[in-house]
Amino acid sequence: MDETFVYRATSVLSRPGGIYGNMFLLWASPTEFMQSLYDHFGDVVPLGYKPRNVFVFGPERNREILTNPEVFENHSFEDIGYFQHSKEYARELALGLGFLNGPAHRERRRLLRPSFLRESVDQYTPTFASLTERMLRSWDGRETFEIVPEFTDLAVSMGLKTLMGLDPSPVADKVKALFEEMFGLVFSLPYALFPVNLPGTTYRKAGFATQKLSAAVTELIEYKRRTGLDGNDILSQLIRLQDENPEFTVPDLIGTVTGLFRGMYPNIASALTCTILLLALHPQVTGEVLQEIHDRLDGRAIASDDLDHLPLLEGVIMEVLRLLPPQYWLVRISRAPYVLDGHEFPTGTNVFLSPYVTQRMPELYPDPNRFVPRRWIGVQHQPFTFIPFAGGVRHCLGSVYSLHLCMIVTATLLQRYSISLLPHTKLDLAGLRRAFPRDGTLMKLGHPGLPVVPDDLTGNYTRFVDVTA
Ligand code: HEM
């Protein structure tokens, strides 16, 4: 392979070389790093000395990778060394859809699909609305709220209720705490830097945390079996399916439901947070959406039937997912040698795709850094130009669920409050995988109406969205 080509990613950026240097850049500033790779090197960018990692950008490359699941698979449990080397790690947590490939993946998707069709998702509308109302009631008498914890809690309670049938309760709090404990450990720096399975290490503690979580979900399954399975939550639906599908075992069930929850709530929390932030930065758009909501609902609560009649509100959510997709990048692993842009990559290459970069290509989205929800009205975008939910055979199962949830929460909020950024706010967006404002971003509550944009706002948000127009 041409040496200039191999080195160019790092040399042009004048930064430390090799895959570790690049991975550091990705970690330090994922969006800028991916954007500069594309701007400097085009749609196929191998990294490191003997590339085992390559970034690809744009609809054609997205299509090439995402529609070829025979070659490009999701990482399985066996690919992830640190899972395998911990004998404490509860193996069943790696039996979720995201870890499966080939026929096992197809079969699991077949089982899950009915729970995510429009008619099934419509059954969750009252839950989405009532949990939002509950959050709003907790804001009564308050002037401000902290955006990230509030929307994270809301996403968590939506997940606990719709996926597991758990209302806000001590049991739900316990399950939530166990998830938080596990994620806190698995996604911590000591875990990543010192993946050694010795007593007292974060690594060992994470293994035990997965066991506790698995035991709690097992208990929940047993409880549901004893007390009846007539709930419309997804866990009850899946337990009912077990009778006709004996090959779908209890460990499969545990892996599936924990995987759904893990895939659901951070993405939803980010999408909701970014929706409210972008609306707070764009009073004119907020005014137009409010008018649309008023014309349709005239003060009543939003219902499933309304969702097809609020095109601008839908455009807001689509535009949030375009500008700040809750997964900036996706990754596949190649199971056979593969040629991309004339370069052969060996089996085992990690192929990174970037919704963030693709969705900011000016030839696909004119004025790409501006927040323009109207661009979605009456327009059919070409396949693989909009991939916040990936695409092909692994298209996110929760896409309709997510769109509806975000529309319902946003409409309910805007009917009740105006939400503005406070004066002197430093609005910095951070996050390796998805956008969250750094801790401590307070929002101001007011009477329903337009948000006020403070004129002394600072921070890196202007790198993500052009608010000048
Ligand atoms: C705004 C919210 C969401 C976004 C942006 C999102 C995004 C994604 C993306 C990008 C993937 C593909 C990942 C990959 O293959 O590398 C995915 C897969 C998946 N998502 Fe979502 N997701 C969201 C919400 C949800 C929700 C609410 C659920 C379920 C309740 C869900 C369930 C799934 C499942 C089961 C998969 C695996 C599909 C498969 O491998 O066949 N997602 N999601």
What digits encode the pLDDT tens for the residues 250-261? Answer: 999 999 999 999
> pLDDT category, 198, cuts 50, 70, 90?
confident
Residue with CA at minimum distance from ligand 1 atom 6: 389
Chain centroid to Cα 357, Å, comes to 16
* Stretch among 154-158, 241-245, 444-448 having the lowest mean pLDDT: 241-245
How many Å lie between the centroid of ligand 1 and the Cα of residue 398?
6
Counting ligand 1 atoms within 8 A of each CB, the residue from 396, 400, 403 with the most, and so the one to mutate, is 396
Q: Measured between alpha carbons, how far is residue 304 from residues 108, 351, 406 in Å?
A: 28, 38, 12
| Ligand 1 centroid – CA 262 distance (Å) | 10
Residue 3: what pLDDT? 40
Asked whether residue 122 carries a pLDDT value surpassing 50, the answer given is yes
pLDDT for 264 equals: 96
Rounded mean pLDDT, 32-37: 92
Residue 182 has pLDDT above 50, yes or no: yes
Tell whether the model's pLDDT for residue 363 goes beyond 50: yes
Query: Three-state DSSP class for 146?
Result: strand
Q: Token match 């004998």: residue? A: 87
Mean of the pLDDT values across residues 132-157? 96
Of the ranges 82-96, 192-206, 314-328, 432-446, which one carries the lowest mean pLDDT score? 82-96
pLDDT of residue 376: 97
Which residues on adjacent β-strands are paired with residue 350?
A: 53, 333
Name the percent of the chain in helix, strand, coil, to the closest 5.
55, 10, 35
Tens of pLDDT along 364-389? 999 999 999 999 999 988 999 999 99
The Å distance, Cα 24 to ligand 1 centre, comes to 26
Which amino acid is located at 229 in the chain? L
Amino acid letter for position 347:
T
Cα–Cα distance, 5 to 159 (Å, whole number): 45
- pLDDT given at position 192: 78
Q: Cα torsion for 411, 415, 416, 419, to the nearest 10°?
A: 70
390-413 burial, b at 16+ Cβ within 10 Å, e below that, comes to bbbebebbbebbbbbbbbbbbbbb
Find the mean pLDDT for residues 242-255. Answer: 92
On whether the CB atoms of residues 430 and 437 are closer than 8 A, the answer is yes
Assigned CATH topology for domain 79-329+393-463: Cytochrome p450 (1.10.630)
Question: What residue's CA is closest to ligand 1, atom 27?
Answer: 264
Percent above pLDDT 70 for the chain:
94
pTM of the model as a whole: 0.94
Q: Is the CB of 408 under 6 A from ligand 1?
A: no
CA of 377 to the centre of ligand 1 (A): 24
Distance between CA atoms of 335 and 337, rounded to whole angstroms? 7
Nearest CA to ligand 1 atom 12: 390
* Res. 18 pLDDT band, cuts 50 70 90: low
Read off the pLDDT of each residue in 141-146 and give the average, rounded to a whole number. Answer: 96
Q: Which atom of ligand 1 is nearest to the CA of 390?
A: 10
- Residue of minimum CA distance from atom 28 in ligand 1: 398
pLDDT at position 194: 82
Does 126 score more than 70 pLDDT? yes
Atom of ligand 1 nearest to the CA of 401: 27
* pLDDT for 424 beyond 70: yes
Residue nearest to atom 31 of ligand 1 (CA): 398
Structure tokens at 461: 């948000």
69 lines ligand 1 (CB under 6 A): no
Name the more confident of 386 and 87.
386
pLDDT at residue 330, rounded to an integer = 96
The CA distance from 71 to 202, in Å, is 35
pLDDT at res. 6: 41
Band of residue 196 on the pLDDT scale cut at 50, 70, 90: confident
Is 388's C-beta closer than 6 angstroms to any atom of ligand 1?
Answer: yes
Q: Residue written as tokens 């309304």?
A: 306
Measured from the CB, is residue 263 less than 6 Å from ligand 1? Answer: yes
**Distance in angstroms (rounded) separating the CA atoms of residues 356 and 151:** 22
pLDDT tens digits, 431-464: 889 999 987 899 999 999 999 999 999 999 999 9
pLDDT of residue 16: 37
Give the Å distance between the CA of 426 and the centre of ligand 1: 31
As a whole number of angstroms, the distance between CA 55 and CA 44 comes to 6
Q: What is the pLDDT of residue 15?
A: 40
Average pLDDT, the chain: 91
> Domain boundaries in the chain?
79-329+393-463
